[in-house]
Amino acid sequence: PYQRNHETMFSLGYFIWIAPALLLAFWAQMKLRSTYANAQQVPARLSGAAAARHILDAAGLHHVGIEPIPGQLSDHYDPRGKVLRLSEGVYGANSAAAVGIAAHEAGHALQDAKQYAPLVVRNLAVPIAGFGDKFSILLLIAGAIMGAPTLIVAGIVCFSAVVAFQLVNLPVEFDASNRA
């Protein structure tokens, strides 16, 4: 009985240790969605796709495609396909949110064209971060339920990889916005 209780306390200690990072991630996601919702109410002269095309053409990137994709806030630049993928709410919308997001994603295409070193590093780290993002919470929960500290540590390592990726990603994101 003592050993099982000690393992449970040990597991809860891990959750308390990573709680600030989880809360920060939750707060950032809520702030992003709130800002997006507010900016959707501000009209713009151009659609997101038109704004992105204007930026890309001005930079001589006529070969970079722009296409709509399903989802919300699923916008991204694909450096392998040389295509900007804008969510339906950004692609055809005439709002400050749509123009801002499309311009930001066009900024990533500009980074790619200039071979911006932090973008290259980020693109190499994407598979590791994707794995950590998918499995960290599952490992943490499974470890807590099963009283398995090894699984909890594995979950923390995966979550730490995601946090490290975000730290590498921050300068890339700020630079993309500045270029836009």
Q: How many CB atoms are closer than 10 A to CB 143?
A: 23
**Which two tokens mark 29?**
């996601």
Residues assigned a catalytic role: 105
Query: CA 164 → CA 27, 82, 121, 153, 158, distances in Å?
Result: 18, 26, 12, 16, 10
Q: How many CB atoms are closer than 10 A to CB 121?
A: 14
Q: Look up residue 104 and give its amino acid.
A: H
- CA gap 141, 147 in Å, rounded: 10
Q: Tokens 């939750």 map to which residue?
A: 26
